[in-house]
Chain A
Amino acid sequence: MGVARGHEGRAPAVRRAAAVLNLLAFERRATQGEIVRSAGLAKSSASDLIGTLLEERLVARSGDALVLGTAFVEIAAGFAGDVTVVRRFGPGWERSPLLREHTVSLQALVGTRSVCVCVRLGAHVLPYTPRAGNRLPFAAESGWEPVTRTVPRDDLLRTITRFPEHGSPMEERERFDALLGRSDAAEEPAIASTGNLEVNALVSMGAERGAPVVATLHLPPSYAGDLFALRAALEGLAGDLRAGDAVERRRIAHHQRRLAAEGLTEHDRDE
């Protein structure tokens, strides 16, 4: 778990900070002493490092222990263009008696991949269990994945352009131009290449920031329940998540005012 000293490369403090964060992601909570031991930190610098992580809200105190902080939720919101979408997803899923029986994820279509931003797991066993951070291609020669079905094609093109993949840009573009010309977008519910039966609802088009975001309901391929009611519940969740844009603008303005007031590099010192 620790960082072998002498193999830290550039910005060694960042590598040590990452070791602390990874430890807390695994252990969920740990005291400063446990962190120093497990992450292989030098005692002399541990207080400064943890103090900075606390100041940046990357970690937080919980009693006499440390836990991961809320800053990561705000940073993760960069995928969705709106922190409220990420914050409201879990409680929204929990509130729906229909949805909380099932696995539902938020997928951001970043470049040519569908990135799982967050997920709540339901009771059913699936061929593929989504996990936050997983990235799957959403277009292949065989056609589009169901997750793209609710996203306008212009928005798909925008994300492909905004988040360019490795490889020849022209080849990539030609491949998508060819796919965009097709009319074989899967009707829903449809089996995804993961093997899951999927229902999708558009949350955000990602026009100004981030990427298009889709709420995806993952079902076993043989699911025989009331898909109509589930679709309505998923659309309801997506509608609730969609309502936060105005608030996000105010949050950004507040964040910018705070940055301006504090002076970004005021306390910085050279290593």
Chain B
Amino acid sequence: MVPTQRVPAVARAATILRHLALVGHPLTGTALASALGLPRSSVIGICDALAEERLLVRLGDGSLWLGPHVLELASAATTTMDRPLGVGFLMISRQNSFSTAMLDAATREIGGDEGRLLVRDAREDPARQHEQWRELIEEGADVLIVDSVSAQAPPDGLALARQAGVPVVAVGSRLDGADAGVTSDNTQAGLLAGRFLADLCGGRGRVAILDGLNKNANVDRVAGLHEALREVPGMEIVAHERLGHDTPAAGERGMRNLSTDETDVDAVFAVCDPIALGAARAQDELGRRIPIVGVDARSEVVETILDGGPILASIAQDPARLIVTAIRAAKELALGRVSMPRALLVPVRLIDGTNAGEFPSWG
């Protein structure tokens, strides 16, 4: 491909139009040239051409202002329904393969239609993610897709997006007040995990929960587990470790806490696979072997399941399907089509030793 060269007159014309829009009042050709650091003769020539095209008008005192054709072109631009959008994606952490699987799928989806993907990595820090809401809106994202670090949206994040006319789609975990949410059916994930554990324990057992980030997805998974175990009188939840992070380190810490407390546990439910992997690692070091069920079904966990444990099952999510669904929902919202459902649940399924071999894992 032959590299293109910038056409200065066209770039300067765009700069002149933008500058007038920014200052919000008419300027003379001389004032424009001075403000933009451009030669006056060049600015006057370009302004004449823009005025002939009705992109500028000359006012009674000779100053220049935006012409009506700007509005006609803006109207045409907004009615081009499939125009590419700037999609802002706030991800939890590049260290988390669930997040990176979503990022890979988002890159493919956005790249297909020549849109822009603006990405920020919160590195599991709510304050950093809060600041990133603002950054992406200021950078001109048309829509925001948020994989939230916390259960609550930043206090002014949603208001900021609403003020800017930027629809917000929560992905992975729902956020109160977002325009839409695309999540796995997390309650179903907890239910499937609970039923699996009840079967595993023969209807009588003591379960510990290793919980992670304080976000809606984890809350729903734990709620689903409670609901499943309530139906089996012999099953009991004896510990609920709130670890604050969805990481292997948190899982290790949780498992060690259970050991230190000498909690008598027959099975462990980890709200996500990184925590499950950390718990399994800690068990190796502690010389224990307690069955673990995670959520995600990422490849490392599927290998562990095939090897016989201690992770015996995981509830499969599909990060690519989640983010693609979120991007498509966000585009609909950006075009003003608000009749779509506000909560989109992607079904999940249990992966254990019986079907792990055929499961197309990710991460």
Chain A residues packing against B (C-beta within 8 Å): 9-15, 17-18, 21, 24-25, 28-29, 45, 47-53, 55-56, 58, 60-63, 67-79, 81, 84, 86-88, 90-91, 93-95, 110-111, 115-119, 131-135, 162-167, 169, 172, 206, 208-210, 240, 243-244, 246-247, 250-252, 254-255, 264-265, 267-271
Residues of chain B within 8 A of A78, CB atoms compared:
20-22, 24, 66, 70
A95 to B113 Cα, complex, angstroms: 26
**B-side interface residues, number (CB < 8 Å):** 76
A13 to B142 Cα, complex, angstroms: 30
Picked from B7, B60, B163, the residue with its CB within 8 Å of the CB of A84 is: B163
Q: Are A61 and B84 in contact (CB under 8 A)?
A: yes
Contact bitstring B12-40, A, C-beta under 8 A = 1, else 0 = 11110110111111100000000011100
A134 to B54 Cα, complex, angstroms: 12
A116 to B55 Cα, complex, angstroms: 15
Q: Given the interface contacts A95-B338, A252-B22, A268-B11, does A15 sit within 8 Å of B53 by beta carbon? A: yes
Minimum C-beta distance from B163 to chain A (A): 4
**At the interface, yes or no: B5 with Cβ under 8 Å from chain A?**
yes
Residues of chain A within 8 A of B24, CB atoms compared:
78, 81, 206, 208-210
Q: Are A75 and B9 in contact (CB under 8 A)?
A: no
Q: Are B7 and A69 in contact (CB under 8 A)?
A: no
With A47-B2, A94-B338 already in contact, 14 other A-B pairs whose C-beta atoms are closer than 8 Å? A10-B49, A21-B73, A48-B4, A63-B113, A63-B114, A70-B83, A71-B18, A75-B70, A76-B71, A77-B21, A93-B336, A133-B72, A135-B68, A250-B134
A74 to B139 Cα, complex, angstroms: 13
A58 to B15 Cα, complex, angstroms: 11
Residues of chain A within 8 A of B201, CB atoms compared:
none
Chain B residues packing against A (C-beta within 8 Å): 2, 4-15, 17-18, 20-26, 36-38, 45-46, 48-50, 52-53, 55, 59-61, 63, 65-66, 68-80, 82-84, 86, 113-114, 134, 137-140, 142, 160, 162-167, 333-334, 336-338
Minimum C-beta distance from B136 to chain A (A): 11
Residues of chain A within 8 A of B38, CB atoms compared:
264-265
Residues of chain A within 8 A of B22, CB atoms compared:
78, 252, 255
Q: Are A133 and B165 in contact (CB under 8 A)?
A: no
Chain B interface main SS type: helix
Q: Are A52 and B6 in contact (CB under 8 A)?
A: yes
Residues of chain B within 8 A of A163, CB atoms compared:
25-26, 59, 65
A10 to B53 Cα, complex, angstroms: 12
A264 to B166 Cα, complex, angstroms: 28
Can you list 14 pairs linking A and B with CB atoms under 8 Å apart? Answer: A14-B13, A25-B73, A29-B82, A52-B11, A70-B142, A72-B74, A74-B21, A75-B21, A132-B75, A164-B61, A164-B63, A172-B60, A209-B25, A264-B15
